[in-house]
Structure 1
Amino acid sequence: MSTIDIVVNPRGKPIRRLPKEVTLPATAPVSDLYKTVAQKSGQSVHRLRITKGSDGSLLSNGSETVHDSGLRAQSVVYVKDLGPQLGWRFVYVIEYLGPLVIPPIFLYLLRPYLYFNFEQIPEPSELQQIVCAALFVHFLKREFETIFIHRFSLATMPARNIFKNCGHYWALAGVNIAYWVFRPDSPTATDSLHPVLYYGGLALFVFGELANLNAHLILRSLRRPGTTERGIPKGFGFGLVTCPNYMFEIIAWIGIYFLTGLSWSVFLFLVVGTLQMWAWAKKKERRYRQEFGDKYKRKRFTVLPPLL
């Protein structure tokens, strides 16, 4: 078991200079297959997805050996060009930038122009300024975590996704929330919000943000820099649900929902975001079960007991 010849075919559109065959040591990591194909075809390794011809399963660009991945002499692999890529970190920074700056711009700079149809446009209420600060703190924290805390299992994502991601955050969390919550006739335009909504909302927001940060720090500690390997997450919230970072994110947004006097615009973003995080968490639960087997304590709820 010294070296093996692997047959390489394109999947989808042709890839210029794609080699028809690659020879590798059987003990080489699969990452060497990616690097060799990328080098010979002149493509970035991040643009390539390689699957096995035998069953169509993905060959992970990691440390598993070529032999252990199931490849043998004359095994066929298919290479797909994923198109132009952008770094995950860059995409996150851009998508969070919109809802970070849109609320203060709407509340302070564009207020006379957005609400010109009102006979009188009062100064922003104290509650509107608190909500604006909460939104700013939330997305500033997101930016901080993206730059300094998160470690990504994949280096890049398709460049076209940035438009979809930015559309979600800039429109739904930025323009949609800021316009309606900061209107002169919004429930937040008064400082007499019900004490339960006000103090309850503040408590949920602060708790959710701090607990979410703690969950992200735990997840960071599970993955060594420059690797895709991870351990079983343990700590506050991880014994209850698969993704407590999502659970605490939802709690923080429930707090904002209360602070805005139960604004429908915040509720819309909360529902859409919760459903998306639920879908991600279900996939992560399946991945944990496959990866860790009996070592992993299965969770009945993935993001929000007793519902999801």
Structure 2
Amino acid sequence: MAPTTLKVSNRSPKKPIKKLPSSIEITDKTTVQDVKNQLAKQMGGMDPNRLGIFDTKNKILKDRLSLVSQNQEVMAGKEILVKDLGLQISWLTVFIIEYAGPIFIHLSFLLTRRYIYHDYSPLSPSQKLSMAMIVLHFIKREYETLFVHKFSLTTMPFRNIFKNSAHYWIFSGINMAYWIYSPNSYAARTSSTVNYVDAAGLVIYVFGELSNLHTHLTLSRLRSRNGTERGIPKGYGFNLVTCPNYLFELIAWTGMLLVSKSLSTVIFIILGWAQMHQWAIKKEKAYRAEFPETYKKKKYVLLPSPGAVIKALVG
């Protein structure tokens, strides 16, 4: 394919990008990331990750490794629209920061609890177990961020770090820690030894965490390192719902609820379910759109019916 010249326009005329070239040449091997790199270079070294590339119908070209020449809207209109997405930060960095918050917040109560509540009594077994489970949950998440997850997008807007971190730092960090470790909490009133409810919660928690890790490993195997390709996940949990990783996440937190016995844990579970349910719906729609011939449609995106669970267990 001979080089093709595309018109380059500002997607937001009221907020034009300075020094944006009026055109750019592409070949049949030019990717979206190549276009970003080329434009950024011509603009004096701007961070290419700040640039959002859109077709003439204002649909963003999300896959950075996709070939521009294969986008029908772009090639039909011979034009791309460009928007400055603002200061960027890597997904890896955001995940590490947002998950680190609850770890340090909960552990800090070992040193600050006596000053917060003006109480010198030790943590009860249920409170200690709650702390261990919550901290280990987020340590697991940090491990998955560093060694399991493979991000199709390299960066996100910097402002998102405050929104993402606030969710975890406030609702699973400060709010849960303050109420769970209080001398007046239900967890503080348990006997001197771990009871049957705690034991049941721990079993449910371990099952949920290990199952969640398994599904994350399954999803990770569908993509090469630094790649953007997508595949259809199959196997454990994926025969029940679209996103079993979210399902097992909720199961793990249900185990933590039995141990912590705190309304703050309930609040975090409800908020988590609401957000993950929306993500699961979008994921189901994405699978159906991308793999219309091969993807087996799911009736349940996050929570299966009891009948579906029994059917899966029986075979």
TM range (shorter): over 0.9
Q: 2:302, 2:53 → 1: CA distance?
A: 32
1:49 and 2:52 equivalent? yes
Aligned to 1:238: 238
Q: 2:54, 2:204 → 1: CA distance?
A: 45
Q: 1:60, 1:114 → 2: CA distance?
A: 47
Aligned to 2:146: 147
Aligned to 2:87: 84
Aligned to 1:173: 172
Q: Residue 293 of structure 1: SS of its match in structure 2?
A: coil
* CA deviation after TM superposition for structure 1 residue 237, in Å: 0.3
1:198 and 2:201 equivalent? no
Aligned to 1:188: 187
Q: 2:25, 2:260 → 1: CA distance?
A: 62
- In structure 2, the CA distance between the partners of 1:140 and 1:232, relative to structure 1 (3 Å rule), is same
Q: 2:240, 2:247 → 1: CA distance?
A: 10
* CA deviation after TM superposition for structure 1 residue 204, in Å: 0.9
* CA deviation after TM superposition for structure 1 residue 195, in Å: 4.8
Q: Residue 43 of structure 1: SS of its match in structure 2?
A: coil
5+ unaligned residues in a row in structure 2: which ranges? 307-315
- In structure 2, the CA distance between the partners of 1:194 and 1:306, relative to structure 1 (3 Å rule), is farther
Aligned to 1:287: 286
Corresponding letter in the other structure for 2:244? P
- In structure 2, the CA distance between the partners of 1:155 and 1:27, relative to structure 1 (3 Å rule), is closer
Task: Give the one of 19, 23, 28 matched to 1:21.
Answer: 23
**1:121–1:184: 8 Å Cα contact kept in structure 2?**
no
Aligned to 1:276: 275
Give CA-to-partner distance per residue, 1:123-155, whole Å, 9 cap, x none: 111111111000111011011111111100110
Greater displacement, 213-222 / 62-71: 62-71
1:9 and 2:28 equivalent? no
Give CA-to-partner distance per residue, 1:261-294, whole Å, 9 cap, x none: 2x11000000001111111111111111111112
Which ranges of 4 or more aligned residues in structure 1 deviate by more than 6 Å?
none
* CA deviation after TM superposition for structure 1 residue 37, in Å: 1.7
* CA deviation after TM superposition for structure 1 residue 203, in Å: 1.2
Corresponding letter in the other structure for 1:112? R
> How much identity, in percent, do the aligned residues show?
43
Aligned to 1:98: 101
Q: 1:73, 1:295 → 2: CA distance?
A: 29
**2:64–2:153: 8 Å Cα contact kept in structure 1?**
no
* CA deviation after TM superposition for structure 1 residue 196, in Å: 5.1
Q: Residue 299 of structure 2: SS of its match in structure 1?
A: coil
1:152-163 to 2 correspondences below 5 Å = 152-163=151-162
Q: 1:153, 1:59 → 2: CA distance?
A: 13
Aligned to 1:37: 39
5+ unaligned residues in a row in structure 1: which ranges? none
Q: 2:243, 2:83 → 1: CA distance?
A: 31
Cα RMSD of the aligned pairs, angstroms, is 1.8
TM-score by length of 1: 0.93
* CA deviation after TM superposition for structure 1 residue 26, in Å: 4.0
**2:63–2:152: 8 Å Cα contact kept in structure 1?**
no
Q: 2:213, 2:281 → 1: CA distance?
A: 21
Corresponding letter in the other structure for 2:49? H
